[in-house]
Structure 1
């Protein structure tokens, strides 16, 4: 975007990353799953920046950007099916999960992101993405009655603080520029 993040946004990202470290507590070092996660993180970062770039124009409608994204997801996943180990089969529960994921995790989530990210910016949106593991732990505690360890709770608190601080820093910076 050719914009330098504010010192508050950088601090919020640092707090969130410390929280992520505590939440995941890596023990075995860097492995193949970490490599895939890093690749996904870079892909999501590019996705967030491109959405900010394309939604800054007021005349852009969400569906104009949603449909190509959905088609790409379908095509990429279809191309990867031959590389899945084991047998690929389809039954009622798999179709339900696929449809549920398509509607809520793809169509609904990306539509909301396309509609509202222009107000938050890519840095604020990335801080929300950083919070996904925190929300996963929070809902596992509520729905599955999981009991987190001290490090996980510390990580959850750090990530929540980073998200709140990063999200509010965008508004603080905007208010300061309006007053000046």
Structure 2
């Protein structure tokens, strides 16, 4: 139980970093397009982790094999598809709808855990996921448009991808060394982002010195590559083995809450009443999922 609490707290810290860096990333992609930005971000993170690996964890290279390589690539492909589909979807839909639809991974992960891992979610996890989903709606939609367009479909497949990334990370993290698995995953995303940046964007901007020298860009790249990528995915890969995918999804649902709070502090953005209700709903859903025994299980024990 202690390891699970430490794991959950560490993953919550990851969600905080992702939410807190939303503002700096938003400023940076006004200079460097999203796929190009993520390509540079993941290359920097991968190079940093690779250097750290050779300096301090060289002995772990002996565990590198075909099975680990395929697992890392598989994790990286799901992670990349999540980023890419969200980026394409945002061309055709609103940020608020994209935020809500992406957050549906909170509901998808318990379902996928049951289908692919045969892990039956607790009543707490199901109830918490439902409450968090309503919270996501209030936080991101704020009475927005419910009509469906092609951008929404792209973002829905993005949610599927992020959900599958949590599932496969949980599956492989307990079978392979954390550092090697993380490095392989990150380099996979870097390569894929680079390829698709040249297909959908002006990929040459990735090494345009004039753009990279912009303070908003290099600051965002430094923060996201070290904290939101290298450290964050290293923590997720290491600690997810001690908790369930459903709990991970609920913890990561706190990302938009942290984004809203940091936007309020640093950018002066104000949350509406609906947004405040949404934040409370997400937090409540996460707390319910963390209760040590489900309401349904407790009722069965009493009977």
Partner residue, 2:102: none
Q: What is the match of residue 66 of structure 1?
A: 182
Give the TM-score normalised by structure 1.
0.84
State the match for 1:13 in structure 2: 129
Question: CA 1:32–1:102 in 2, change beyond 3 Å: closer, same or farther?
Answer: farther
Pairwise mapping of residues 99-118 of structure 1 onto structure 2 (< 5 A)? Answer: 99-118=222-241
Gaps of 5+ in 1: none
1:29-178 correspondence to structure 2 within 5 Å? 29-57=147-175, 60-85=176-201, 88-89=204-205, 90=208, 91-93=212-214, 94-166=217-289, 168-169=290-291, 171-172=292-293
Query: Runs of 4 or more off by more than 4 Å in structure 1?
Result: 85-88
Q: Normalised by the size of structure 2, how large is the TM-score?
A: 0.52
Q: How many residues align?
A: 172
The answer for unaligned runs of 5 or more in structure 2 is: 1-116
Give the superposed CA RMSD. Answer: 2.3
> Taking structure 1 as reference, are residues 116 and 138 closer, same or farther at Cα in structure 2, changes over 3 Å only?
same
Name the structure, 1 or 2, with higher relative contact order (CA <8 Å, separation 6+).
Answer: 1
